[in-house]
Amino acid sequence: MAIDTAALRPSAGIPSTTGVASRRPPRRSAKRMLRKLPVRLLITLLVVVEVYPIVWLVLGSFKTQNEFFAKPTWALPESFSFDNYVAAWTTGNLANNLLNSILVTVPSLFFMIVLGVAAAYALEVMVWKGRNTVLLAFVAGIMIPGQMILVPLFTVYFRTGLTNSLWPLIITYTVMGLPLTVFLMAAYFRAIPREVFEASTLDGAGMVKSFFLIGVPMMRNAIITIALVEFFSVWNDLLIALTFTTKSELATVQVGLLNFSDEYGSTDYGPLFAAISINVVGMLVLYLFLNKQIMTGLASGSLKG
């Protein structure tokens, strides 16, 4: 259970202070520069490889169709006009897709967190027979591919007419996120001594009350971490969104992006690049502000073996 150590250490993404204890005797600086050169080159190459595609993408979003075909591929755009963005936003339906994605992601995350945190509390803090079996049933869900529940859910959603709304997505995302939420929250609760909760019940407060008064506030950081992890998996999902949205008005960002090139027959590269750029830059901004939490969150969220 690697999670016990990885998930609960808030500083996992920050270099530990003990990591630099091995200082070697100082050498002459020229020799040191030369010794470090291969590493420097490697790192520069690494950063260029990671960053260049994004830069090329954003530059491309300002090019006209003509520039894409007549100019060399690394040429800079001739002008910085936002025509492509306007086209992507309106005729490309990006505005509508973004709205759908928000309308799906926010309720999904809300239900997932509320249900998952309460369940983890009942499974980890409270003591009763059979709780380990139930926890196992939840955790086993992490491994099962979405394909295994697609067909029955589609049948039911279709029969009940839900496919004309965003509810199939919200319901499915909520449930698909539950196993990981329950599992991680249980691990977080495990780290808190049970006496804390016992003490709170001494003055007569019930377990439900102490869940809201003590459990939830103590878990605030953990909840934010899980919300971040689940945000990316819901926002970036294609399989569920593609299966359960039968109408183009209900398409999420990912489905819209996938259909972008089909819509025009011969692809309009400018608007396509603009649409991808909006997606990428949006995530980039989020990442600029929250990169520490995202890195530790995603890393701990996956070490569930």
Partner 1 sequence: MQSVLGDKKAILLLLGPALLVYTLVKLVPVLWSLGLTFYTGNPLGGFEFAGVDNFVRFFQDPQALEALGFTIKYALVLSVGQILLGYGLALMYVFVLRKASTFVRTVVFFPTVLPTVAVALLFKSLFAVGQQDGPVNAGLEVFGIPAVDWFSTGDGTFTVAILMELWRSMGFFAVLLYAGLLDIPEETLESARLEGATGWRLVRHIVLPLSLPVLLSSVIFSVNNTLKVFDTVLALNNGGPGNETTPLTLLMYRTVFNYSDYGYGSTIAFVLTIMCFLVTLFVFRSSRRDITKN
For partner 1, the binding residues in 116-175 under the rule CB under 8 A are 116, 118-119, 121-123, 125-128, 134, 137-138, 141, 143-155, 159, 171-172, 174-175
Using the minimum distance from each CB to partner 1, give the nearer residue, 103 or 114.
Answer: 114
Structure tokens at 240: 């569920």
218 scored as a contact of partner 1 (CB under 8 A): no
**Contact status: 303 vs partner 1 (CB under 8 A):** yes
Identify which of residues 79 and 133 has a Cβ nearer to partner 1 in the complex: 133
Applying CB under 8 A, which part among 80-88, 91-99, 219-227, 235-243 lies near partner 1? 235-243
Cβ atoms of residues 165 and 100 within 8 Å: no
CB of 194: closest distance to partner 1 in angstroms? 7
15 binds partner 1 (CB under 8 A): yes
Which C-beta is closer to partner 1: that of 103 or that of 298? Answer: 298
User: Considering the rule CB under 8 A, would residue 284 count as an interface residue with partner 1?
Assistant: yes
Indicate which single residue of 28, 29, 31, 74 sits in contact with partner 1 (rule: CB under 8 A). 74
Q: How far is the CB of 272 from partner 1 (least distance, A)?
A: 7
Which residue, 106 or 285, is less far from partner 1 as judged by CB? 285
Does 43 help bind partner 1 (rule: CB under 8 A)?
Answer: yes
Q: Would you tell me how many other CB atoms lie within 10 Å of the CB of residue 300? A: 25
SS3 of the chain: the string is CCHHHHCCCCCCCCCCHHHHCCCCCCCCHHHHHHHHHHHHHHHHHHHHHHHHHHHHHHHHCCCCHHHHHHCCCCCCCCCCCCHHHHHHHCCCCHHHHHHHHHHHHHHHHHHHHHHHHHHHHHHHCCCCCCHHHHHHHHHHCCCCCCHHHHHHHHHHHHHCCHHHCCHHHHHHHHHHHHHHHHHHHHHHHHCCCHHHHHHHHHCCCCHHHHHHHHHHHHCHHHHHHHHHHHHHHHHCCCHHHHHHCCCHHHCCHHHHHHHHHHHCCCCCHHHHHHHHHHHHHHHHHHHHHHHHHHHHHHHHHHCCC
Count of CB atoms situated within 10 Å of the CB of 188: 22
Residues in binding contact with partner 1, number by CB under 8 A: 111
Cα torsion angle, 123, 128, 132, 138, sign:
negative
Check residue 193 for interaction with partner 1 (CB under 8 A).
no
Pick between residue 2 and residue 213 the one whose CB is nearest to partner 1.
2
Is residue 80 near partner 1 by the rule CB under 8 A?
Answer: no
34 binds partner 1 (CB under 8 A): no
Residue type, 83: D
Residue with tokens 């409270």: 126
Site for partner 1, residues 86 to 105, rule: CB under 8 A: none
Q: Does 243 bind partner 1 (CB under 8 A)?
A: yes
CA dist 147 and 167 (Å) reads 19
Q: Taking the complex as a whole, how short is the minimal distance between the CB of residue 221 and partner 1, in angstroms?
A: 17
Which of 27, 28, 31, 49 touches partner 1 (CB under 8 A)? Answer: 49
Of residues 87, 103, 139, 258, which one binds partner 1 by CB under 8 A?
258
Residue 41 binding partner 1, by CB under 8 A: no
57 binds partner 1 (CB under 8 A): yes
Q: Which CB sits closer to partner 1, 60 or 84?
A: 60
267 forms part of the interface with partner 1 (CB under 8 A) = yes
